[in-house]
Amino acid sequence: MEAAFGMADVTSEVRIIGSEGPDGLTLRTSGLSAGNLPELRVAGLPPYLGQGWARVLAALARRLAASGQVPARITLGADVEISLTPADDGALAPGPPPGDDADGWHRDVLLRLFPEART
């Protein structure tokens, strides 16, 4: 799985790259570092959430690239708040905002951002 888009003010592009392992699907960006930004990485996804989360990572990457800064949280859509937590490898891990339950959160984000996925 791979998707790409151009970044404003940066000559490279950002790609979303996926790999499947025993703990589930891992998606990561490649290219944000060209704009001196950390890459994004989400791990442990059920494979059926891969396409939707590739779209979420792309939206998050666009926001980061456009602002050139790393906020603690980004709101997508009308009400989907995503926390960005630094991981050990220097990447940012999208996760639920403080106080939200992590159980089922990845699926909930997709259903709230893409209601057509319910059918």
State how many domains the chain has: 1
Contact assessment for residue 45 and residue 32, using Cβ atoms and an 8 Å cutoff: no
Domain contains 77:
yes
Please say if the pLDDT value at position 112 is more than 60: yes
Q: What is the pLDDT of residues 69-109, one digit of tens each?
A: 999 999 999 899 999 999 999 999 999 999 888 899 999 99
Residue 69 CA: distances (Å) to CA of 63, 89, 98, 110? 9, 19, 20, 25
DSSP class per residue in 72-115: SEEEETTTEEEEEEE-TTS-EEEEPPTTS--TTHHHHHHHHH-G
Domain contains 1:
no
Adjacency order of strands within the sheet including 41-45 = 2-6, 13-21, 24-30, 41-45
Please say if the pLDDT value at position 2 is more than 80: no
The residue whose two tokens read 């630094």 is 86
The pair of three-digit structure tokens given for residue 28, joined into one six-digit string: 């990561």
Domain contains 8:
no
Domain contains 5:
no
Query: Tell me, what's the pLDDT at 116?
Result: 81
Q: Name the β-bridge partners of 45.
A: 25
Given pLDDT bands bounded at 50, 70 and 90, which one contains residue 115?
A: confident
Query: Tell me, what's the pLDDT at 10?
Result: 43
Domain contains 107:
yes
Q: What is the pLDDT of residues 36-74, one digit of tens each?
A: 999 999 999 999 999 999 999 999 999 999 999 999 999
Residues of the domain holding 49: 15-113
Domain contains 4:
no
